[in-house]
Structure 1
Amino acid sequence: MNYKILGFIFFVLIAFNGYGQKKDKDKKEKAKDSIVTDLNTGSFIKSKRPYNPLAPSKAAFYSAIVPGLGQIYNHSYWKLPIIYGGMGAAGYFYVTNNKYYHNYRDAFKRRQAGYTDDPYYDLNGDGEGPDVTDSSLENGQDYYQSNRDLSLLIFIGIYALNIIDANVDAHLKQFNINKDLTLQPYLEETDFYSTPDMGVSLTFHF
């Protein structure tokens, strides 16, 4: 038995198997995705579900109320550590920089008022000061203020990205091409040699 006949039998079996798997599905069945096996490829695919136009808005609204709630709605649980980790780190640096900003600002104000009792005046306790000059206090105040403001911007940015991600992810999760993309074998006779040729057709439906 030559290889062409074996190939022909192989394609016939695939075609028979593929056509045997075609079933009419009711579009009103349950909204959740169910996992089915594509016997043509042996891979797992999600069955098509009705499109919900309000899902992206709901996901964005949930994430706006509680960061990460939209990701839970989309079943993207792996994103929660990223969201809370980023917001937590930004919040921590905001609080820390804000604390040092106020310490340097208060010390600088007391220096300008003529006092020498701030924590930075005599750091080493030798009775001689100031150990930190007025200009250093002013520079430190500006430095921590800039870092504090940057931390706040990062926190707000992650919060906004959390909302955008929930909205976009809800859109993308509703795309399903399992019925709009088909891969089927075919057998046809060539006009030139009058011999059967085997091939595979890939079809898109828009």
Structure 2
Amino acid sequence: MYKFLFVIGFITVFTFAAQAQVTDTAVVGKSDTVRKASNTAPGSFAPPIKKEKTYHPDSLHSPHKAVMHSLMVPGWGQLYNHRWWKVPIIYGGVGLLAAAVIFNQKYYTQFITLAKYKRQGIAPGPNDKYYAEYNAYGSGVSESDFASAADGNRRNRDLSILGILATWGIQTIDAYIDAKFIHSYTVDNDLAIKVTPGVLNQPVYAQSTNVSFIPAIKITFTF
């Protein structure tokens, strides 16, 4: 009888000891998991957070001034933003478009005048305007031909003028963006890059192939 009670008591003590050991292990594992998760950023594959970026607003640089400078003179806003290399690009584009305007205006005036000569049925004299051009084209060119050529030059001239206005507007927007998003904040230069090998799962359309994974390279930028 006493031996039976002793065996029951021994089993009871062993059971409580084993249960306590399991509880301690679970608590330790949970604590380690919490400690590890607290050192990472949100997200399953996010790297540990080392240092937050610091922004320093530049109160002396005004996007409004950059826009007003660009509206008054093309490229002035870029000079205000210290983007010197953009100025030759702006004036190169404006210069080409201005040359196109002058070229097409010249020939528009010429062809519309020659069309008037044809419509009136008279030939210009040696002292009249476009006398040499009228003789160079010959009598085989009709009034409608000259009118069509004049319409083409007028269309190209108008498109070139619109191009100049569009370039003016684009360089104004560019000056605003530079002043607002580049000069408004000074960002630190703490930039790092990490390249690690990895694998990708096979796409759905290629799952019938023998290869289950695709070799890949993972590139991580840290700002």
TM-score by length of 2: 0.54
Q: Deviations over 1:60-117 (max 9, x none)?
A: 1001111101000000001001100000000010011011001101111122122122
Amino acid at match of 2:98: G
SS of equivalent to 2:135:
coil
Q: Deviations over 1:125-161 (max 9, x none)?
A: xxxx414222210111011011101110111100111
Query: What fraction of aligned residue pairs are identical, expressed as a percent?
Result: 34
Q: Per the alignment, do residues 162 and 182 of structure 1 end up closer, same or farther by CA in structure 2, a change over 3 Å counting?
A: closer
**2:121 aligned with 1:114, yes or no?**
yes
Contact 1:121 1:132 in 2 (8 A): no
**2:123 aligned with 1:123, yes or no?**
no
Return the index of the structure with the highest Cα Rg: 2
Q: Per the alignment, do residues 182 and 99 of structure 1 end up closer, same or farther by CA in structure 2, a change over 3 Å counting?
A: closer
Contact 2:75 2:171 in 1 (8 A): yes
Q: Per the alignment, do residues 54 and 116 of structure 1 end up closer, same or farther by CA in structure 2, a change over 3 Å counting?
A: same
SS of equivalent to 2:141:
coil
Unaligned runs of 5+ in 2: 1-53, 125-129, 193-220
**2:185 aligned with 1:178, yes or no?**
no
User: What are the residue-to-residue correspondences of 1:38-117 with 2, within 5 Å?
Assistant: 49-52=56-59, 55-117=62-124
Q: Per the alignment, do residues 84 and 122 of structure 1 end up closer, same or farther by CA in structure 2, a change over 3 Å counting?
A: same
RMSD (Å) for aligned C-alpha atoms: 2.7
Question: What is the aligned partner in structure 2 of residue 160 from structure 1?
Answer: 169
Unaligned runs of 5+ in 1: 1-46, 184-201
Amino acid at match of 1:114: G
| Distance of 2:82 and 2:99 partners within structure 1 | 28
Higher helix share: 2
State how many pairs are aligned.
135
SS of equivalent to 2:58:
coil
